Amino acid sequence: MAISDKFTEMQNPATMNIDKMNACEILQCINREDQGVPFAVEKAIPAIEEFVYKVVESFRMDGKLYYVGAGTSGRLGVLDASEIPPTYSAPHSLVQGIMCGGLAALITAVEGAEDEYEEGVAIVDERGITNKDCILGITTSGMAAYVHGALKRAKEIGATTGLLICNEYKKPDYVDILIKTIVGPEVITGSTRMKAGTATKLILNMITTTSMVLMHKTYGNLMVDLMTTNKKLWDRGARIIKHCTGIEYNKAMDLLIKAGGRVKVALVMASLNIPFEEAEKRLQRHDGSLRETLDEEGVTLNL
């Protein structure tokens, strides 16, 4: 029998006797339950798409994307935001994760913080969120008052607001877009770091990856706007240039150095045989799109 009317708090009939299972049986049970998560996410794609277009619109107006969450939800938001700068050479401010309870809550549970509605209101003003920005509240149960406080205040300011949940939920009037993914009861009752957390991770990846592609941060599926911040990424950048143009690795690395570590600029330099300054101007003329820049000259790179 369910102990709650919320999916995230219900008991899972498939795992009622999990404490009688051996390790292999438990692992198989968890795996079976996880297999349904992508299908639940698939049903939410129309809402995710709507939010993505709002995010891209914000980025093109020099706005930002903020994630606001508590517990696992907040940690996943911070994680996704932290990966954007090195992957896509984006400013650290472009995508920001706001963790209920502050940075200390990333590694230690801060009990009760998610119930602080006024703290959620205050963080929006502290972060300087404006009507150019998008804010996505993440609360798998739909109950985190901190998240709702932040969303209501952001809506008052004129920001685009989204809410990501894993329960049936009536959309509040201060939420523009409701992203609902019903993954069902957890393997361990109420442990939303499991299926709900997996769904959240998938959706956040989808939002930022799709947004970055639409912002011309890739050529095909190649990471042509990566940030060369370490040896591995310098090597990856040079290998991308080598792959796309067919030139020798050492020449590719020399070009990358001349381009200040900017793979996209180096590719334009190599493909059109032009200096750095001209390559940069060509890209700017096409809003940073490598494909459009090269299409103008009838050039196609290897993929």
Q: What is the CATH number of the domain that holds 157?
A: 3.40.50.10490
186 part of the active site: no
* pLDDT at residue 110 greater than cutoff 80: no
Are residue 137 and residue 286 in the same domain, yes or no?
Answer: no
Check residue 3 and give its pLDDT. 41
Residues 6+ apart with CB under 8 A from 286: 216, 292, 293, 296
Question: By percentage, how much of the chain surpasses pLDDT 70?
Answer: 97
- The pLDDT confidence band at residue 2, using thresholds 50, 70 and 90, is very low
* pLDDT at residue 144 greater than cutoff 80: yes
Whether 75 maps to a domain, the answer reads: yes
Q: What is the reported pTM? A: 0.92
Cα(83)–Cα(205) distance, integer angstroms: 10
Cα(269)–Cα(264) distance, integer angstroms: 9
Least confident of 3-7, 61-65, 159-163, 242-246: 3-7
126 part of the active site: no
Are residue 125 and residue 240 in the same domain, yes or no?
Answer: no
Q: Which structural domain range is residue 102 located in?
A: 37-214
Check residue 8 and give its pLDDT. 79
Check residue 1 and give its pLDDT. 29
Check residue 268 and give its pLDDT. 96
Check residue 6 and give its pLDDT. 77
Are residue 165 and residue 270 in the same domain, yes or no?
Answer: no
Whether 224 maps to a domain, the answer reads: no
Task: Work out the angle between the directed axes of helices 117-126 and 145-157 (0-180°, nearest 10).
Answer: 40
Number of domains into which the chain is organized: 2
Report the pLDDT averaged over residues 277-297.
Answer: 95
- The pLDDT confidence band at residue 105, using thresholds 50, 70 and 90, is confident
CATH number at residue 277: 1.10.8.1080
pLDDT by residue (tens digit) across 272-282?
999 999 999 99
* pLDDT at residue 227 greater than cutoff 90: no
Report the pLDDT averaged over residues 37-58.
Answer: 98
Mean of all residue pLDDT scores within the chain: 93
Could you say which of 214, 249, 265 is where a domain stops? 214
Active-site position among 114, 116, 186, 280: 114
Are residue 72 and residue 163 in the same domain, yes or no?
Answer: yes
* pLDDT at residue 146 greater than cutoff 50: yes
Whether 8 maps to a domain, the answer reads: no
Whether 220 maps to a domain, the answer reads: no
Burial of 246: CB neighbours in 10 Å, binned 0-12, 13-18, 19+: exposed
The DSSP bridge partners found for residue 99 are 69
Whether 14 maps to a domain, the answer reads: no
The angle at the Cα of 233, spanning 270 to 219, to the nearest 5 degrees, equals: 50
Check residue 151 and give its pLDDT. 98
Q: Is residue 130 within 8 Å of residue 154, measured between CB atoms?
A: no
Check residue 48 and give its pLDDT. 98
- The pLDDT confidence band at residue 113, using thresholds 50, 70 and 90, is low
Active-site position among 9, 49, 50, 83: 83
Question: By percentage, how much of the chain surpasses pLDDT 90?
Answer: 82
Are residue 194 and residue 112 in the same domain, yes or no?
Answer: yes
Are residue 67 and residue 136 in the same domain, yes or no?
Answer: yes
Cα(250)–Cα(238) distance, integer angstroms: 8
Whether 223 maps to a domain, the answer reads: no
Whether 17 maps to a domain, the answer reads: no
Are residue 253 and residue 204 in the same domain, yes or no?
Answer: no
